[in-house]
Structure 1
């Protein structure tokens, strides 16, 4: 796992072989946006300590959606450090293991990528302490706004920190090679609409579930990429 500074003293990316998570700091209080795959709790804790921070100050883990590469380590981390697990109401039953993970509607070129993505272990059933809806504000980052961004999954969310100009997009948007619509969506039309909605927030920093964060010309790049996506699936 690689640890990459995005904003000094505030934001780091934790990059796994597949996917990534983000660590946000409010002083000594910590928030994880996603948690990596099952078995990655120890590297996450090591990364936190390497920054001179205390894993016991992990207050919450916000899950952008229910997929295994984002949820997998959440249960172990939350159980060990008492963090609150947060997810959208529509994905929470999947995170808890009450419903199956929804199958995406795959385009032909996505088929081999999807098989590769399944190489990480399935996520164990994970408790959800707080189910959120669009527009709710979470107590970190000077007010973290939940943005419902369905399409990748029904309960996919972005997290917007307007006072810091930071947007966590989950897998709705990807930054692999270029900024683009994320892959493996259950509803392509919804995903494109969510892409446009997130882009219109005009952040200065965009943190993707896959791909390097965007830190320069971010708002214009997101808007241009969203506009280039067709309106139909």
Structure 2
């Protein structure tokens, strides 16, 4: 790699957990998701096969944990063909720099996320004033400065194809961040939604701890464009979705997922958009 890579200047351990932390579950023969404290990581590929990809890299200092899970599923010293990012917020890229150094594999994200992944631009600061619970009030402690993944990070292809996953496509779902994407496989109607919508009330400490499953809009304290976020949820709801692995919360499927998503779409302004906050129009 030609450029020096480094962590963000305000990288720090975040003291949060949930009852599903450090546990994983196979959702299909080639889909395994793992919870790092309060955020989900997806491993796409058949066990003990070389051709697999990692989606998102968890909270800060998660690289060792991710490598251990990869070894358990794919074999010792196995590495992915690529790392895919739904977006570049601290809780989705926490292990990225260490994993790049270890694996030396390409990283793909939407082109609008690249400035936040190459040290050029910081995300807006989390909104501690937004309507919500304790996790929103303490969000000022969350890192928001950019890391630098150097020339390891590349833009996702313009044709919505996904490197390393021929039967998946990426969908631009901005609002939570400018270049947020979700990943979708039509053949089994599986969605990896990132934070476009999640299945836990992320600003409720109790719900996060207990992982109470319910369809919710994106985390309030880091969402800066609510109109775009609404349109992104509508875009995803127009798909046939049988199962979702969200960025936060437990997976959901079938009728419960569909009813929750339909309600979120029809009542987005009431359910998702906070009554007040720095980024609320």
Q: TM-score, normalised by structure 2?
A: 0.74
Q: What displacement does 1:107 show?
A: 6.1
How many angstroms apart in 2 are the aligned matches of 1:135 and 1:222? Answer: 27
* Structure with greater Cα Rg: 2
Shift of the 195–159 alpha-carbon distance from structure 1 to 2, 3 Å rule, reads same
User: Counterpart of 1:80 in 2: which secondary structure?
Assistant: helix
Matched residue pairs, number? 233
C-alpha distance in structure 2 between counterparts of 1:137 and 1:120, whole Å: 32
Q: CA deviation at 1:81?
A: 1.3
The alignment status of 1:203 with 2:241, answered yes or no, reads: yes
Extract unaligned runs of 5+ from structure 1. none
**Is the CA contact 2:85–2:109 (under 8 Å) kept in the aligned structure 1?**
yes
Q: Report the RMSD for the aligned CA atoms in angstroms.
A: 2.5
CA distance in 1, matches of 2:99, 2:123: 21
Show the counterpart of 1:17: 37
Q: How does 1:1-233 map to 2 (within 5 A)?
A: 1-26=21-46, 27-103=49-125, 108-110=130-132, 112-117=134-139, 124-127=147-150, 128-132=152-156, 135-176=159-200, 177=212, 178-183=214-219, 184-217=222-255, 218-230=257-269
3-state SS of 1:146 partner: strand
Question: In the alignment, what sits opposite 2:209?
Answer: none
Which consecutive unaligned segments of at least 5 residues does structure 2 have? 1-20, 201-211, 274-279
CA contact (8 A) 1:37 1:120 kept: no
1:116: Cα distance to partner? 4.1
- Structure-2 change in CA distance of 1:118 and 1:46 (3 Å): farther
More RCO (CA 8 Å, sep 6+): 2
Secondary structure of 2:25's counterpart equals: strand
DSSP 3-state at the match of 2:269? coil
Label 1:69 to 1:118 Cα distance change in 2 as closer, same or farther (>3 A): farther
State the alpha-carbon separation in 1 of the partners of residues 74 and 171 from structure 2. 31
Cα distance change, pair 204–140 in 1 and its aligned pair in 2 (3 A): farther
Deviation at 1:126, TM superposition (A): 2.0
Q: Distance in 1 between matches of 2:99 and 2:228?
A: 32
- Report the Cα offset of residue 110 of structure 1: 3.4
Greater share of residues in strand: 1
CA distance in 1, matches of 2:28, 2:183: 19
